[in-house]
Amino acid sequence: MFLPQEIIRLKRDGYALSTADIGSFVAGLTDGSVSEGQAAAFAMAVYFKGMDQTERVALLRAMTGSGAILDWSREGLGGPVLDKHSTGGVGDKVSLLLAPIIAACGGYVPMISGRGLGHTGGTLDKMEAIPGYDGRPDLHRLKNMVRRVGCAIVGATDEIAPADRRLYAIRDVTATVESIDLITASILSKKLAAGLNALVLDVKFGSGAFMESRDQARRLAEMLVQTAGDAGLPARALLTDMEQVLGHSAGNALEVRECLSILAGGVAESRLWRVTRALCEEMLVLSGLASDGVVAARLVDQAIDTGAAAERFARMVAVLGGPPDLIERPERHLPTAPVVVPVFADHSGHVVAQDARALGLAVVALGGGRTRPQDGVDPRVGLDQVVPIGTLVGPDRPLCLVHAADRAAADAVVCSVRNAYVIGETADAAADPVAERVGGP
C-alpha cells in the first residue's frame, strides 16, 4: 500500500529512498493522490536532508516518465537532437541566437523554454513579444516544426513532465526552490522528455543569477552533468559570469530586437557573443557535428555570415504564426514603449561595477517581468543601451535608456537604475564571461 507520509518520514529522518518509493511518490504527484501538503513536506525534507546520486537519478527518471517523451526515430532527421539550458540571468538572450545557429549547422533543436520569474527574464516571454507567435504548439506540431525548420523555441505543453510542473509550483511557495537536488530533477526531466541526444548547460553566477557564488554554480553544474549522464543524456556545462547585463538590453521586445540585429549581421555585444559562441561550440563538438573547437567556431561564424541562422529564425517565426518579414522590418512588428528616458550618472567616470540583479528588478518594476507565475508582462518595456563595465559615462553618455509605459513608471525606476552602477576614475577590463567548463575530457 502506498503511503506518502511514510516516504516523507523516511526522507525527513535522513534515509535514502528506494527507486520504487520515489516512483510511487511521483506517480502520486501526477494523479493527484499526493496532497499539496504532502508534496510541500516532501520538498522541504529533500531541501534539508538532500539526496544521493541514486535517488537523484530515480527522481529524474520518474519525473521524466510522468508524461510524454518525444521519440524522433521516425521523423527522418538528418542530425542529432540537441538543446541548451540556462539557469537564468538578466538580459540572457542566448537561446534566441543559439537555436537557429545550431539548426543551420545541422542540428535539430526542440527548445522547450520557460517564462521569467523574479529578476531574470524568460525565453518564452521574449518569443511571445513577437506578434502572432504561438509559443505553445502541441507535440505533433512541435515535431513537425523541428523536422521542417530545424529549431523551435516553445513552452512546455501539459504533456511534458507534469509531475515537475506540480512540484515546481509548490516549491515556489514553500521556499524550497533553491534545493539543488530538486533543481536538477526539474531542469533535466523536461530535457530528457524532449528526446535529446546531447545537452549543454549554461550555469550562471553573480549578482544577476540565482546562484550568486561561483562555488554554488560549480556544484550545481557538476550535479547536472553527472545526473544527466547517469540517466543516459550526454551533457556539458559552462559556468558564465552574470555580474552585469548580458548584451545591451533587458526586456522582452528589446532583447528580440537586439538578437535580430545580430542575426542580420550587426555587431554583437562582446560578452553576449562570447557566451553564445562558446555554448554553440560546446554543443557542436559534444554532438559530433564538429570534430573540435576550431571546426565548431568556423561553423558558427558561417551560420551568421551566410545568413543561414537568420533564415532559420525567420522560418521558425513564420511557421509559428509570426510575421514573415520580422528580421527585415522589426520596427514594423515589435511593440515599442511610448516613453524613453535616459539615465545619467551623478558624475562622469568609468563604470566600475554593475548590480545586474537591481537592473533586472527595475525591468520587473516597469512591468517587463513577473513576481508571481500568473502575472502578465508588458513586452514593450525594459532597459536598452545598457553600458558595460569599463565604459566612460558622463553628460553625453547615459548609463542606459529606460523604456516605460508612461513617464511615472520611468521616473519610479530611474533612481534604482542609477544606484545599480558604481562609477570611478578608472576601471579594469571585464573578465572573460566564460569562467569554467564542467564535464568531458
> What amino acid positions are annotated as catalytic residues?
83-86, 123, 171, 186, 190-191
Report d(CA 24, CA 30) in Å as an integer.
10
- Would you put residue 307 in left (φ > 0), alpha (ψ -120 to 50) or beta? left
Q: Which residues contact 406 (CB under 8 A, 6 or more apart)?
A: 338, 339
Go through 77-94 and write b for each residue having 16 or more CB atoms within 10 A of its CB, e for each that does not.
bebbbbbbbbbbbbbbbb
Between the alpha carbon of residue 179 and those of residues 27, 36, 52, 220, 315, the distances in Å are 21, 18, 13, 10, 39
The CB-side HSE value for 98 (13 A sphere, CA atoms) comes to 31
Q: Are 395 and 347 in contact (CB under 8 A)?
A: no
How many other β-carbons are positioned within 10 Å of the β-carbon of residue 273?
Answer: 18
| Residues written for the chain | 441
The C-alpha cell that represents 28 in the structure block: 502520486
> Of 436, 348, 331, which Cα lies nearest the Cα of 387?
348
Between the alpha carbon of residue 264 and those of residues 97, 223, 311, 342, the distances in Å are 11, 37, 9, 27
Q: Are 120 and 92 in contact (CB under 8 A)?
A: yes
Q: Is the dihedral of CA 290, 293, 294, 297 positive or negative?
A: positive
> Of 428, 434, 433, 268, which Cα lies nearest the Cα of 351?
428
The torsion angles phi and psi of 401, rounded to 5 degrees, stand at: -110, 130
The torsion angle over the Cα atoms of residues 331, 334, 340 and 343, rounded to 10 degrees, is: -100
Element (H or E) spanning 304, and its range? Answer: helix 293-305
Q: In this structure, are strands 339-343 and 382-384 parallel, antiparallel, or unpaired?
A: unpaired
